[in-house]
Each structure stands twice: as structure tokens, then as C-alpha cells.
Structure 1
């Protein structure tokens, strides 16, 4: 049985915090791979100053291109529409019945699990792995395995603000992703020719 980690999110843009979390969980739980899976349309967030789903997927592909165990997944982008985790996991389990899925969430998501669509059904499908994030309590009544990973206080919101203000983003995200953002003129950058 293959052990597959799923790290979903908007990845607007993906950054080192995402990569470190995915890599640490892959190692700690001895997973075969961790798939970074951007939402097509997230149910919990309104995306302002956003890249398209296809651009966010491309940034993930660039972010993980040098990794053997971190991979991009177009599952939700290709399916389209609002991305509810329970529906995505039903599709993946049908496609890959010989895989065991570990769904990785940050502390902010642990705190709000009770609001997730069909959370009780989802709990039967996957093993949730919660990681800490600065400013979160990681409190829930649901059965979550917790992992201690290095806490990196960087967010996609911070990066979008830095790009819009013309501030440095060096070392906060992979250089290939930074190059793509500037080439595409995302987040208030001037489009490179």
C-alpha cells in the first residue's frame, strides 16, 4: 500500500513554508510522496489579487521540480469549480484504491475543522496530519495526528504584499517561482519581457 500525503491550498503563491512542511511530513510519516494540490476555487477563501488556478499550478510545478518526493497535482484544477476536500478525496480513493492518504493541514485549518463540508465523512477517508502555525491553537475534537515541524512565519499574503510594495522576496520562495511571478507580472510586479 502506497502512503500518499496531500497538501491542499490556494498556493497564491507557494513558498518555502509549504515546501518545508510537505518535506518534513513526508519524512516523519515515511510517505512515498506528498502532492501539493492547488484548489480551483477554494470554498473558504476569497482570492484577491490572485493568480489563475493554472498559474498557481505552474508555480507549484516549478517549486517542486528538484524534489523526488514532492510533486504537483492538478486534480482539483482539472476538475474545476469549488474544491471540497471530501469530493476530491472520494475521486482519489476511487482512482487509487491501494493508497492510504494523509491530509496535511496547518494549525489554522485544525482550528476550523468543525466548519468543513462533510467533515465526518472525510474523517473516514483520510488520516489528518496537523502542523503548527504561529498564532494557532491546534485545538479540535477530531482525531488528528500532530507533527512538529520547523515553524516558518511566512505566508502567501505577506509575499503578495511584498511584491506589490516592490520589496525583496529573496529566500522566501524558490527562485524559479519568483522568476515566473515577475515574468507573468503577478501580484503587482511589472511584467518582464
Structure 2
């Protein structure tokens, strides 16, 4: 029995204008990806399909402003796991902008660099409902809103609602987190099906999160 993952929008809080076919439409899903898991991939793929984007870039942070540095493993492992996770999807790509820049990964700095380097691209920055409440605290949020269109996706246990201009996209709810996976591995459990098998194989091979 086939399962249809594509679902209609929960709501759209912006009037959508016809897209300029001369401009590329690119989604961005940022995160620590420590490790990348199935919810990350479903969100990226579903947003791309539902909004008709040309591609989605997965953007690993170098030093997240809100995450304890001690909990973030070396970037080489996070990059490798991301590469393994998206190797079979030609519409998802890795972007190293924040890793190459180093320092604290502020979204404004990243999007300023990307929009300056790619003036013919419209960017859609994807965030989970759990991050929406924090938008007023984001670094230079008012200027950031001039650079990107935010796209919000539902997350279990979080209510959605904000005065910021956000396109809400409905995706299958998956209550999976990287911390859940790290905890399971530390306890000697195997989180099968919560992340791609090649990623789990790499974690076991490298002895990560133990």
C-alpha cells in the first residue's frame, strides 16, 4: 500500500506572486546536523516539492550560537554524514558557507554572503515551528527578512503562530531529534530507521557519540 507523503499547505500567510522563471528558487535548511536524520531529509525534500524549488541546500553550522560547543562533533564527520545522507537525491546539496567562514554561524551573515554572490537567486530559509518563537531574538532579524523568505514547518508539540511573514508548509510530523539519536547510541541502542543506514554505519565505524 503506497503512502502519499505530499500533503497540502497548512496555511500560507503571504500572497504568492508568480515566480520569475529567470531566477532560481533555492531552499536552505540550516542546522548542526549532529547527526543528520530522516526528519531533516523529509523536511528538505517536501518543502522543495511543495514550493517548486530548484534545489534545497543543507547548511551545516560551524559554531551554532545556541548550542554548547562541547556537544558538536568535528565538522568533517557532520559533512561526511550529510554527504552520505543525500547522495541518492540530486535535488539536495551540501553548502559549506558557514563551515568555510568559521566563527559563530549567524544566519544574517550567511544570507548576506549568499545573496551578494548569487543576485539571481531567491532564497527560502526553512525553520521548524520550535524556532519561530525565537525569531525576535535572531541576529539582525529585520535585515534578514529583507534577504530571505522564511518557510515554517510543523513540529510535534509546538504551536504555530507569528506576526512575521512566513509561508507555512505542511509536512509529515516526525518526532525525531539528533539529541535522541545521540542518547540512544550512548546507551548502546541502534536507532534503526531514524536516520539513513549509511549514516548509522558511518557512526558505528567511527565510534561516534559513545
TM-score when normalising by structure 2: 0.87
1:52 Cα deviation (Å)? Answer: 1.1
Query: Per-residue displacement from partner, 1:151-188 (whole Å, max 9, x unpaired)?
Result: 01110010000100011211110111111111211100
The question of whether the paired residues in 1 share the 8 Å contact of 2:32 and 2:72 is answered with no
8 Å CA contact retained: 2:26, 2:56: yes
Does 1:108 pair with 2:127?
A: no
The answer for the alignment partner of 1:135 in structure 2 is 157
Offset, 1:138: 2.0
Structure 2: 5+ residue runs without aligned partners? Answer: 1-22
- 8 Å CA contact retained: 1:15, 1:173: yes
Q: Equivalents in 2 of 1:83, 1:2: separation in Å?
A: 24
Partner SS for 1:124: coil
Structure with the bigger RCO (C-alpha within 8 Å, sep 6+) is 2
2:30 and 2:147 mapped to 1: Cα distance? 15
When the two structures are superposed, what TM-score results if normalisation uses the length of structure 1? 0.95
Give the alignment of 1:31-180 within 5 angstroms: 31-180=53-202
Q: Distance in 1 between matches of 2:137 and 2:75?
A: 24
Contact 1:131-1:146 at 8 Å conserved across structures: yes
Which protein is richer in helix relative to its size?
1
Given that 1:111 and 1:136 are in contact with CA atoms closer than 8 Å, whether structure 2 keeps it comes out as no
